[in-house]
Structure 1
Amino acid sequence: MATPVVTKTAWKLQEIVAHASNVSSLVLGKASGRLLATGGDDCRVNLWSINKPNCIMSLTGHTSPVESVRLNTPEELIVAGSQSGSIRVWDLEAAKILRTLMGHKANICSLDFHPYGEFVASGSQDTNIKLWDIRRKGCVFRYRGHSQAVRCLRFSPDGKWLASAADDHTVKLWDLTAGKMMSEFPGHTGPVNVVEFHPNEYLLASGSSDRTIRFWDLEKFQVVSCIEGEPGPVRSVLFNPDGCCLYSGCQDSLRVYGWEPERCFDVVLVNWGKVADLAICNDQLIGVAFSQSNVSSYVVDLTRVTRTGTVARDPVQDHRPLAQPLPNPSAPLRRIYERPSTTCSKPQRVKQNSESERRSPSSEDDRDERESRAEIQNAEDYNEIFQPKNSISRTPPRRSEPFPAPPEDGELDAATAKEAAKPSPAMDVQFPVPNLEVLPRPPVVASTPAPKAEPAIIPATRNEPIGLKASDFLPAVKIPQQAELVDEDAMSQIRKGHDTMCVVLTSRHKNLDTVRAVWTMGDIKGHTVPHCPTPDGALFAQTSVDSAVAINDLSVVVDLLNIVNQKASLWKLDLCTTVLPQIEKLLQSKYESYVQTGCTSLKLILQRFLPLITDMLAAPPSVGVDISREERLHKCRLCYKQLKSISGLVKSKSGLSGRHGSTFRELHLLMASLD
């Protein structure tokens, strides 16, 4: 039977409802590219097999949202860090909690497993990095040096180094054996979100919110090249297994880069929005993204992607396995990692360091681990992945068949359509599985999701409507018998506020037109900006914000700040004095988007202007008359007074749960220098 020719380069694989509340973190297993772990605001960690509809296992025990997850290389252990600073390690093969690690004082932002030894590294919003001994629950060492949240940690392929990326715009390299920093790599002008070691050479890649990717030589400790012009903040990068290129998951696209010299080999359009993680399986790149409670997976056929300076491989004629490297005309320019044949030696213990002392298991730890559970939700998939028959040592689930691309016309054949429409079996293996083909599905109550509810699946290739009713777009109505709204009643409720909403939107549109005219023409006070080859964007921003504040419509202020926040160069001290009182209003708003915009603007002001403000206020008085300095000092005093007013509000909200609580805690740390 002839093999059909795949004509698609990228496609959506599936979409699942992964948690009962918002998804806050996710990660792909890098060895297989088939295992997916998600962490949610419901304090659970759920495991999935890519392109399968049901949850394999649900891990409980955390009491606050799970903000970071990581699988070890063999995909037999998983570690998860929560908003409260606690870390839990589960053994997936034994389906039980292995360790609970306590010690961080704020959110866990990043985690990584050592490639050989039984160690876990954790980075936190408290700016500390800790190395943990899994076997004895102990903190081996604490690495200090970053001044803001540590967003990404990666061990080197030989297990000797640890790279860290942080919001303080720096990348640092740590020597595990010596327990000290080897080198710091400055150069980024925004928070660094991700770092990744080259699989073979002494080379490190870092991606930042400044929309650049930098490559660092780990022998000479200097920059090799810098790729600029990314369409948005860089959050996920991945080297090809043979090291020939780097993949960057951009907004709705995949970009393929080389670094000596820096160049873009290929750009593939993928409608994945903000992709959160990447992995490679069977010459296919898997990308996953999340939005609210949904997680989507996407596939890019790498045989149709140009990965070197030569022409892309023909997917029909070339069927070489992934392990075989692509032709690369240039030999490695750097030293190659020497991987140990056995587990590496334990990192050196440092004397007179309380953090390095192992904690003995306490009754509180034992109780905490007893309350943490690993609930198998799908026994068939669990046994297939974690407990294969007739096998002494488990290997990751590496299937030989690649993920099939959907037909070009997007239609399913009869068998696939029937399978997609069929209800999924129940996930709890403690009860017999009923025949759901003959039993009607009970109505889903959105306000009280069951903890073991079956996740809804939205097949990527499904073309027909998915059965939504008008009542699905309304808040759940608390009726004693939980009766469903009929469509007519639901539409009647929607129409009640329609006219009012139209009036609000019309007024908002008119106000936005006014602000837009000010931005285009000149000053709100009636003074036009002189025509010149390089117009002052900062002045336009200032006058537009003045206009929005004068209109007294907070929604217009939000819309304008969402634009101004994208370009830090538009911000000046004058703009800060105008915006800070508005930020105080936004932080107290009942609308989530207003609070989010206010937090973004406040963070930008703190990072860009707080050092200037504190330095100006601490400087001795000038000798003589310096009008410009006096004006700047007056603005700094005004900003300081406004920031002090906001700091109390930020502190009071830093105890909230969820993403806003995490953001307010970060702002509270940034505002510490005000005291």
Structure 2
Amino acid sequence: MAASVATKAAWKLQEIIAHSSNVSSLVLGKSSGRLLATGGDDCRVNIWSVNKPNCILSLTGHTTPVESVKINTKEELIVAGSRSGSIRIWDLEAAKILRTLMGHKANVCSLDFHPFGVFVASGSMDTNIKIWDVRRKGCVFRYKGHTEAVRCLRFSPDGKWLASSSDDHTVKLWDLTAGKIMFEFTGHVGPVNVVEFHPNEYLLASGSSDRTVRFWDLEKFQIVSCIEEEATPVKCVLFNPDGCCLYGGYQDLLRVYGWEPERCFDVVLVNWGKVADLSICNNQLIGVSFAQSMVSSFVVDLNRVTKSGSVLHGLLRDDKHLVQPTAAGSSLRRSYDRPSTACSKPQRMKHNSESERRSPSSEDDRDEKESTAEIKNPEEYKEIFQPKSSITRTPPRTSEPFPAPPEDDPATTKEIAKPSPVVEIQTPLPNQENPAPVQRPPIASSTPLTRAEPSVIPAARNEPIGLKASDFLPAVKSQNQSEIVDEAAMSQIRKGHETVCVVFTNRHKNLDTVRAAWSTGDIKTSMDSAVAINDLSVVVDLLNIVNQKASLWKLDLCTIVLPQIEKLLQSKYESYVQTGCTSLKLILQRFLPLITDILAAPPSVGVDITREERLHKCKLCYKQLKNISNIIKSKSGLSGRHGSAFCELHLLMVAFQ
């Protein structure tokens, strides 16, 4: 029964190929919930309309991967920060670069637009927070206080404060007008991934990798409550627009929280993996996630989610979360006073270096000339950013909710970049008591009915990456040309088939060779044969087995494997990098103390062949680890899937730095 409730409450909306390489960041527009921006390792920022498979706008200019993106409240500007520390702001309405901001010395991890003024806040792995004046193209203030990367920044609804969270386990609140820190909230025991202000009250929520969500009172500067003992770290949080509850995004789950007292109202199973951002539109919660070059969007119908003090009715409920209904009382905290005009510029502290204020330079001008905004889909671009009436601009249409797929057709939720036809669908809505069929709006709700859409629109990308759906699924297919279409489709499918078969045949043959050596029980001989074949895929297959049983590792095996690990860590394949990290971690944990002790021991008296052999192996391993440490150091600053693994290895290899 619980599973059917979850199926009706949440569904996958779409999957798209967002970039020609890995996606490194993405964010939803908070006003409409329909605008999506993605940043990639291809150094591009792409703009999408949720539930549309075609890219609207592609922004270039960055020369290193885009680490963070943010859309402003009016959804007319977008800012993107890169791995090199540069920041670029584009005007979406004019489709052009607006500003290039330089100043950070490392990855830009977090960004936020001021709700009223023309300011942007940026946080970096260099531990600094900077406030930029978009009009004057300069940094007007720099906040110092965090000791590790700044992961999230949020301006308060009244525009007077800035909250920051960091890998140093702290949350800090900064006074923009006074130009100083107001308070530091401590209590988390892991990196704090996200912070969010309550939309009305003086309340702040923070989510951490320590698997807790904490609520902070911004009048008394003390903790209100703490949600503890969740199974996975919280990735993102979002208050309901009326402030009645907080939504927490976890691995494949959405949790709904209250804070006075702390309790979980509901838990909804959503197979979104590691969700990256949340937004609300038409009482539907939109969640987006990414894996490699794919971006997925999901919908949770908030009409079917418990958001107030009643007994939990959803999926995966836990007795410890079940609480008695509580009467909804008025808040004891103040509400924000929102100004009717833009806020004044933050004051500068006396000791702040004048070098922080940068005047426009010829270098900046050159950067802006080299930055472009390429319109990929003119019709949708005009519809969203350049409406006929220039008096008011509305983001993508929000008058209609996203329709759920037919519940008896699960394949609908798995199609990649394939828009559904404009049809009327009769779908029963799950009511608590009397389910009744309800007329569903058209699938392509944000597109005028008079405009014909091709059945498949491949996602825009810099370079072709293999076959496209349109290669074997033509937009128009009539009966008299069905044979030609089928023949063309089969021709496309056959492309590369022989090559793939040869690759797999050779790999199977190589694995048989390694298996013959493995059957003798000599792991070292097996690894020697795998290395001799000179096929990293076979080495990875073998290491994945050896990694499962730590007792198989010996010192002489390390001398063979370490050079291969060096290659794996520099591979373009994520699975190879992951296997290399796992193997290196096992070697460091089991053998690094032994290696350092033997190398530090005084020379032996007399002849000890066994000891000399062990010393030779240790010297060889130490030399190889020294080479690998340089790679680990260069990658320890990366964010993304393997960033934390490289950071952990960097700490384990501190003796080699």
Q: Specify if TM > 0.5.
A: yes
Contact 2:53 2:418 in 1 (8 A): no
Tell me, in whole angstroms, the C-alpha distance in 2 between the residues paired with 1:509 and 1:337.
Answer: 71
Contact 1:59 1:372 in 2 (8 A): yes
Structure 2 counterpart SS, 1:135: coil
In the other structure, the counterpart of 2:274 is: 274
Structure 2 counterpart SS, 1:342: coil
Q: Which amino acid aligns with 1:650?
A: I
Tell me, in whole angstroms, the C-alpha distance in 2 between the residues paired with 1:45 and 1:307.
Answer: 35
In the other structure, the counterpart of 1:251 is: 251
Contact 1:16 1:458 in 2 (8 A): no
Classify 1:670/1:144 alpha carbon distance in 2 versus 1 (closer, same or farther; 3 Å). Answer: farther
Is 1:498 paired with 2:544?
Answer: no
Classify 1:177/1:196 alpha carbon distance in 2 versus 1 (closer, same or farther; 3 Å). Answer: same
Contact 2:544 2:579 in 1 (8 A): no
Q: 1:650 aligns with which of 607, 616, 632?
A: 632
In the other structure, the counterpart of 1:11 is: 11
Following superposition, the deviation at residue 105 of structure 1 comes to 0.6
Classify 1:138/1:468 alpha carbon distance in 2 versus 1 (closer, same or farther; 3 Å). Answer: farther
Q: 1:449 aligns with which of 442, 449, 463?
A: 463
Q: Which amino acid aligns with 1:334?
A: R
Structure 1 counterpart SS, 2:27: strand
- Give deviations 1:162-208, integer Å, cap 9, x for gaps: 11111111111111111111111111111111111111111111111
Contact 1:107 1:662 in 2 (8 A): no
In the other structure, the counterpart of 1:166 is: 166
Instruction: Within 5 Å, give how 1:384-399 maps onto structure 2.
Output: 384-399=383-398
Instruction: Within 5 Å, give how 1:77-476 maps onto structure 2.
Output: 77-310=77-310, 329-354=328-353, 357-410=356-409, 420=419, 449-450=463-464
Tell me, in whole angstroms, the C-alpha distance in 2 between the residues paired with 1:595 and 1:450.
Answer: 25
Following superposition, the deviation at residue 35 of structure 1 comes to 0.2
Q: Which amino acid aligns with 2:227?
A: I
Is 1:484 paired with 2:495?
Answer: yes
- Give deviations 1:522-564, integer Å, cap 9, x for gaps: xxxxxxxxxxxxxxxxxxxxxxxxxxxxxx9743564579xxx
Tell me, in whole angstroms, the C-alpha distance in 2 between the residues paired with 1:555 and 1:418.
Answer: 33
Classify 1:98/1:113 alpha carbon distance in 2 versus 1 (closer, same or farther; 3 Å). Answer: same
Tell me, in whole angstroms, the C-alpha distance in 2 between the residues paired with 1:418 and 1:231.
Answer: 32
Following superposition, the deviation at residue 223 of structure 1 comes to 1.3
In the other structure, the counterpart of 2:544 is: 555
Following superposition, the deviation at residue 408 of structure 1 comes to 1.4
**Which deviates the most, 278-287 or 493-502?**
493-502
Q: Which amino acid aligns with 2:632?
A: V
Tell me, in whole angstroms, the C-alpha distance in 2 between the residues paired with 1:188 and 1:584.
Answer: 39
Contact 2:562 2:625 in 1 (8 A): no
Structure 2 counterpart SS, 1:78: strand
Tell me, in whole angstroms, the C-alpha distance in 2 between the residues paired with 1:304 and 1:59.
Answer: 38
Contact 2:89 2:98 in 1 (8 A): yes
Contact 1:158 1:337 in 2 (8 A): yes
Contact 1:17 1:457 in 2 (8 A): no
Following superposition, the deviation at residue 649 of structure 1 comes to 4.3
- Give deviations 1:321-362, integer Å, cap 9, x for gaps: xxxxxx972211211111111111110023342256421211
Structure 1 counterpart SS, 2:8: coil
Classify 1:355/1:458 alpha carbon distance in 2 versus 1 (closer, same or farther; 3 Å). Answer: farther
Classify 1:560/1:132 alpha carbon distance in 2 versus 1 (closer, same or farther; 3 Å). Answer: farther
Structure 2 counterpart SS, 1:380: helix
Classify 1:450/1:492 alpha carbon distance in 2 versus 1 (closer, same or farther; 3 Å). Answer: closer
**Which deviates the most, 581-590 or 243-252?**
581-590
Classify 1:127/1:373 alpha carbon distance in 2 versus 1 (closer, same or farther; 3 Å). Answer: same
Contact 1:304 1:312 in 2 (8 A): no
Contact 2:6 2:269 in 1 (8 A): no
Following superposition, the deviation at residue 503 of structure 1 comes to 7.1
Tell me, in whole angstroms, the C-alpha distance in 1 between the residues paired with 2:49 and 2:565.
Answer: 41
Classify 1:25/1:336 alpha carbon distance in 2 versus 1 (closer, same or farther; 3 Å). Answer: same
Structure 1 counterpart SS, 2:275: coil
Structure 2 counterpart SS, 1:383: helix
Q: Which amino acid aligns with 1:76?
A: E
- Give deviations 1:198-238, integer Å, cap 9, x for gaps: 11111111111111111111111111111112221211111
Classify 1:7/1:84 alpha carbon distance in 2 versus 1 (closer, same or farther; 3 Å). Answer: closer
Classify 1:149/1:350 alpha carbon distance in 2 versus 1 (closer, same or farther; 3 Å). Answer: same
RMSD: 4.7
TM-score (norm 1): 0.69
**Which deviates the most, 340-349 or 81-90?**
340-349
Tell me, in whole angstroms, the C-alpha distance in 2 between the residues paired with 1:418 and 1:243.
Answer: 35
Structure 2 counterpart SS, 1:55: coil
Following superposition, the deviation at residue 10 of structure 1 comes to 0.5
- The sequence identity of aligned pairs, in percent, is 69
Following superposition, the deviation at residue 650 of structure 1 comes to 3.3
TM-score (norm 2): 0.71
Structure 1 counterpart SS, 2:56: strand
Structure 2 counterpart SS, 1:589: helix
In the other structure, the counterpart of 1:49 is: 49
Structure 1 counterpart SS, 2:30: coil
Tell me, in whole angstroms, the C-alpha distance in 1 between the residues paired with 2:504 and 2:407.
Answer: 38
Following superposition, the deviation at residue 378 of structure 1 comes to 0.9
- Structure 1, unpaired ranges of 5+: 314-326, 423-434, 460-466, 473-482, 514-551, 562-577, 607-639
Instruction: Within 5 Å, give how 1:474-553 maps onto structure 2.
Output: 484-485=495-496, 487=497, 490-501=500-511
Contact 2:562 2:624 in 1 (8 A): no
Tell me, in whole angstroms, the C-alpha distance in 2 between the residues paired with 1:144 and 1:365.
Answer: 25
Classify 1:181/1:411 alpha carbon distance in 2 versus 1 (closer, same or farther; 3 Å). Answer: closer
Following superposition, the deviation at residue 312 of structure 1 comes to 9.2
Classify 1:456/1:285 alpha carbon distance in 2 versus 1 (closer, same or farther; 3 Å). Answer: farther
Contact 2:17 2:417 in 1 (8 A): no
Q: Which amino acid aligns with 1:251?
A: Q
Q: Which amino acid aligns with 1:394?
A: R
Classify 1:86/1:164 alpha carbon distance in 2 versus 1 (closer, same or farther; 3 Å). Answer: same
Is 1:589 paired with 2:564?
Answer: no
- Give deviations 1:52-76, integer Å, cap 9, x for gaps: 1111100000001001000011111
Classify 1:340/1:364 alpha carbon distance in 2 versus 1 (closer, same or farther; 3 Å). Answer: same
Contact 1:272 1:298 in 2 (8 A): yes
Classify 1:370/1:208 alpha carbon distance in 2 versus 1 (closer, same or farther; 3 Å). Answer: same
**Which deviates the most, 183-192 or 55-64?**
183-192
Q: Which amino acid aligns with 1:98?
A: L
Following superposition, the deviation at residue 270 of structure 1 comes to 0.8
Q: Which amino acid aligns with 2:145?
A: G
Contact 2:18 2:46 in 1 (8 A): yes
Following superposition, the deviation at residue 493 of structure 1 comes to 3.6
Tell me, in whole angstroms, the C-alpha distance in 2 between the residues paired with 1:46 and 1:405.
Answer: 26
Equivalenced residue count is 537
Is 1:62 paired with 2:62?
Answer: yes
Classify 1:226/1:588 alpha carbon distance in 2 versus 1 (closer, same or farther; 3 Å). Answer: farther
Contact 1:153 1:164 in 2 (8 A): yes
Contact 1:303 1:312 in 2 (8 A): no
Contact 2:472 2:489 in 1 (8 A): no
Structure 2 counterpart SS, 1:223: strand
Q: Which amino acid aligns with 1:261?
A: P
